[in-house]
Amino acid sequence: MSGERTTRSWASFPPHVISEIHRAADQGLYYIRGSGAWRALPSFDDLVFLGASVSRYPLEGYRERCDTDVTIGARYASKPVELKIPITIAGMSFGALSASAKRALGLGASAMGTSTTTGDGGMTMEEREASQTLVYQVLPSRYGMDPDHLRIADAIEVVVGQGAKPGGGGMLLGQKVTERVAGMRTLPAGIDQRSACRHPDWTGPDDLTIKIQELREVTNWEKPVYVKVGATRTQYDVALAVKAGADAVVVDGMQGGTAATQEVFIEDVGIPTLPAVRLAVDALKELGVHREVQLIVSGGIRTGADVAKALALGADAVSIGMAALMALNCNAPLYLEDYEALGTHPGACNMCQTGRCPVGVTTQDPVLEARLDPEEGGRRVRNYLSTLAMECQTLARACGKSHVHNLEPEDLAALTIEAAAMARVPLAGTDWIPGRS
C-alpha cells in the first residue's frame, strides 16, 4: 500500500476553532464581531405548513382578503400603534448604522405602514422625519436619552436585553465613535464605547413597574411601552414584563444580530427564537393576556415563511434587523476589494464592528456612507417588506386564513425532533410531540 492516508475531519477542532485559538493566542482578548449566531440552530426552517386540502379549504390566493394589520399597545396606552403589516424594524443605533441607513429604514418602513426603532445613542431628527412610526428605546446606557424624544416618539421600548447578548452590554469600537456619535452619547470621540448591561436606576421587576409608571407619567400615558428581552428564561421574563405593566413584549432569540459584541456571547448565550416564541406565548396565556399584550418576536426572521411561522406559534408581530440591513445591500457582491481588505467576502461578512462596511450600512465614514443612497435604500426596504408580507399572506391563505393572525400551531408540522419539541408541533407524518405526547 502506498499514497497518503485519508484522515477523518477533527470534530473537536474544526478549522474555525483552530483559527480562533491562534487568534486568541496572538491577541489575548476575546473576539468581537457583529451580526448574530452563525452556528446551525433549530429554526423556523425546520417547520412546514400544512396547506389546506380536503379537510380544510384555502382562500383564493389573489382574490380573497387576507389582512395583515396589527394594533400594538392598547392595554394601557391611550394612543396605541397601528401597523399595516406585522413586520417591524428592530432597534439599531445611529452609530452602529450610518445616518443614511437609518433614514433608508425609516423611508422603507413608512412606505409599508410599519415602524422603525431607535437604538443606543438616541434619536436623530433624520430618523424621526423618515419614520412615520418610531419606537424610542430606553436602554441601560441611556446614551442620548432625552425626554423630548420620548414625547415625540410613537412608542417606548425598555430594553432589558437582546438575543445576541442576553446579560451583556454593548460596545461600539472607537473607529465608529465619530464626533457626531460621541456628541450624542456625551463621550470622547474615538474611544471604545461600552454600554452597560443593567439599567442605572432599576433592578428587577418591582423596580421596572415603577420605571414604566414614570415613563408613562412623562408621556401622559399616551405611548405604548414595550419591554424587550433576550431569549433565555423566556417564560419567566415575559411574565414579569407583563406584571411590570408592559403593553407589549419583544422577545429576541439568539439568532438576533448586534453591531458588536464578544463572539462567545453571540454563539453561546441564549436560546433560539423557535422555542422562545412558544415559551413567551405560554406566559401570556397563563396570565390571560395573549393578544392583549402583544408579542413581538425577533432573531433570525428572513422570509415571509419565517413571519408566518412566528405568527402561527402565537406572535402578534415580528421584528427584523439583519435581514433589513441585507435589503440595504449588506453582504451584497459590490466593492469586492473592500471586502477583501477586511479579510472577508460577500456572504460571509460580519465586520460591522470595524466601521469599514463596504456598502455604507454600518459605517460612519462619509466616503463609504455615500455608497448608500437613502432613497434607493428606502425603496429596497419597502420592496423587501412588501415581499415578506405577501409571502406571509400567501401561506395564510393556503391555510384558509383571512387574517395572518388566524394562523395557528395546528397549521404546522416539524421536520426534526428538536423542532417538534421546541415548537410543540407534531413531527411531520406523526402525532408525536416530544415531551408532550
The helix/strand/coil state of 262 is strand
Least Cα distance to 150 among 170, 131, 122, 130 occurs for 122
Please state the closest distance from residue 274 (CB atom) to another protein, in A: 33
The helix/strand/coil state of 228 is strand
Look up residue 324 and give its three cell numbers: 433589513
Query: Between residues 245 and 377, which has the closer beta carbon with respect to another protein?
Result: 245
Please state the closest distance from residue 28 (CB atom) to another protein, in A: 4
Distance between CA atoms of 320 and 316, rounded to whole angstroms? 14
The tally of CA atoms less than 13 A away on the side-chain side of residue 181 is: 26
Q: Does 334 bind another protein (CB under 8 A)?
A: no
Beta strands in 95-151 (DSSP E): 115-117, 133-138
Please state the closest distance from residue 39 (CB atom) to another protein, in A: 24
107, β-bridge pairs = none
Q: Does 186 bind another protein (CB under 8 A)?
A: yes
Q: Does 204 bind another protein (CB under 8 A)?
A: no
Backbone angles phi, psi at 283, to 5 degrees: -65, -45
**Which residue in the set 50, 52, 111, 150 belongs to the binding site for another protein (CB under 8 A)?**
150
**Which residue in the set 18, 218, 334, 336 belongs to the binding site for another protein (CB under 8 A)?**
218
Residues 114-143: x where in contact with another protein by CB under 8 A, - otherwise, as a string: ---------------------------xx-
Stretch that binds another protein, among 12-20, 63-71, 188-196, 293-301 (CB under 8 A): 188-196
Least Cα distance to 52 among 326, 396, 290 occurs for 396
Please state the closest distance from residue 133 (CB atom) to another protein, in A: 22
Amino acid at 209: T
Query: Between residues 18 and 24, which has the closer beta carbon with respect to another protein?
Result: 24
Query: Between residues 184 and 323, which has the closer beta carbon with respect to another protein?
Result: 184
Residue 231 · residue 273 · CB < 8 Å: yes
Q: Does 219 bind another protein (CB under 8 A)?
A: yes
Residues 13-52: x where in contact with another protein by CB under 8 A, - otherwise, as a string: --------------xxx--x--------------------
